[in-house]
Structure 1
Amino acid sequence: MKYLDHLEEWIITFLMGAATLIIFVSIIHRYGAGLPIPGVQDWLIQLNLSWAQELCIYMFVWMAKFGAAYGVRSGIHVGVDVLVNRLPVDWRQKGVMVAIICGTIFTGIIGTLGATFVWENGMHYAVFNKLGMNLADLTEGPITPDLEWPTWIIYSAVPLGSYLMCFRFIQVGYRFLRYGELPRHNEGHVEGIDEVTEDVPGVLHDPITHEDAVIEGGMTK
């Protein structure tokens, strides 16, 4: 299960790096094709990179779906906790669990609907064709304009990303019930860098609250 802990990061990093490289090559190609350099200009014009923009769009769609799953795991999604904070302490845990259960059910439904759409949009034809089964009543499904890929491959981001989100919601709910903790995102933390706190004279590392001041220095005004 350890490889699942960073699955989203690996996928997003690969897609982001590949999309950046493709866009960079496409820009250089367009710029170079406009330069009147004998031989080089003709060779660049013959290179067909019209698919680059379409492919990058699909990559960003996949990044968005897996990024949403990463957001559930790391706690970076925007949440409104005004209602939960107004509940009695005994009811706050129940309110959090209701939200987690709703997120699990919603993403599970979206994943199932997406999987059904992908299957009926051409994946069933590809699977049956691969297995050598009868294709009489099946349609091949549409393809993308430039890449000419089956669209079911692109739409697979919906069920895969949604089911991964559902799995992350289950993980968050389990850890919340067992340890009473929710994932929190620290904007100032950089992954892979451990914070080292040194005692520097005249520098306060932790803010002193009103209660701390009363305990340490007596009554405060």
Structure 2
Amino acid sequence: MPRALLSVWNWLERNLIGLLAIAALALATYQMIARYLMPSLSTAWTGEVVIYLIVWAVFVAASLLVHEDAHIRADLVLRLLPAKSQRPIEIFNIVVALVFCLVLAYFGVLAALDSWQMDERSITALRFPMWVYYAALPAGFALMALRYIRRLFLYLLRYDAQTMSVHSGRES
């Protein structure tokens, strides 16, 4: 993947996460101020929207964490191995993570489609379509799967033990 495209992807994810977090914070702050200082301006739906924004931000952030190799993982045994011996284990880990992401993305799509077809809506006054909420799962896991595919190609085609082992940090 060209570095320029990767930079744009990273920039888009970071900024989307930031915008979602700022929107959630602004709505939560508004709701808190309105509830205690101006009860007539308080709305019943802001808490629900804050949750939706945070859920979307978390699933998008999961993709960025894959890129930065920042997901929590058990690598005690891997750290004991020499850098060159880590490659096949890392490839196996990537394949397992990729399959996991693809399975969850698939079932997330099914859940979102079911919700859309049934016109499922939240029970609050907002009556928000639930498929938008459910779509965060397949979107996040699809983004993670794309990151794992990229990482798999790096480990298969451009592996460098000096820069890609657990001793060195993240891949480029």
- Shared fold (TM-score, shorter chain, > 0.5): yes
Q: Does the 8 Å contact 1:23/1:56 carry over to 2?
A: yes
Q: How does 1:176-191 map to 2 (within 5 A)?
A: 176-177=155-156, 178-180=158-160, 181-182=163-164, 184=169
Letter in 1 for 2:147: R
Identity %: 25
Distance (whole Å) between structure 1 residues aligned to residue 51 and residue 146 of structure 2 = 26
Counterpart of 2:133 in structure 1 is 154
Counterpart of 1:99 in structure 2 is 93
Counterpart of 2:36 in structure 1 is 31
More helix per residue: 2
Alignment CA distance shift 1:31-1:85 (3 Å) = closer
Q: Does the 8 Å contact 2:34/2:42 carry over to 1?
A: no
148, 154, 159: which one aligns with 1:175: 154
- Correspondence 1:117 to 2:111: yes
Alignment CA distance shift 1:81-1:3 (3 Å) = same
Distance (whole Å) between structure 1 residues aligned to residue 84 and residue 31 of structure 2 = 58
Q: How does 1:199-214 map to 2 (within 5 A)?
A: none
| CA offsets 1:144-165 (integer angstroms, 9 cap, x no match) | 4242111011110000000001
Superposition deviation, residue 120 in structure 1: 1.4
Letter in 2 for 1:112: Y
Counterpart of 1:9 in structure 2 is 14
Gapped runs of 5+ residues in structure 1? 34-43, 126-138, 186-221
Q: Does the 8 Å contact 1:54/1:146 carry over to 2?
A: no
Counterpart of 1:165 in structure 2 is 144
- Which consecutive segments of 4 or more residues in structure 1 shift more than 6 A? none
Aligned residues: 159
Partner of 1:147, secondary structure, is coil
Superposition deviation, residue 4 in structure 1: 1.4
Counterpart of 2:60 in structure 1 is 66
Distance (whole Å) between structure 2 residues aligned to residue 151 and residue 21 of structure 1 = 22
**Bigger relative contact order, structure 1 or 2 (CA pairs below 8 A, ≥6 apart):** 2
Distance (whole Å) between structure 1 residues aligned to residue 48 and residue 119 of structure 2 = 21
Larger Rg computed on CA atoms: 1
Q: Does the 8 Å contact 1:72/1:169 carry over to 2?
A: yes
Letter in 1 for 2:66: V
Letter in 2 for 1:58: Y
Q: Does the 8 Å contact 1:144/1:151 carry over to 2?
A: no
47, 57, 67: which one aligns with 2:51: 57
Superposition deviation, residue 90 in structure 1: 5.1
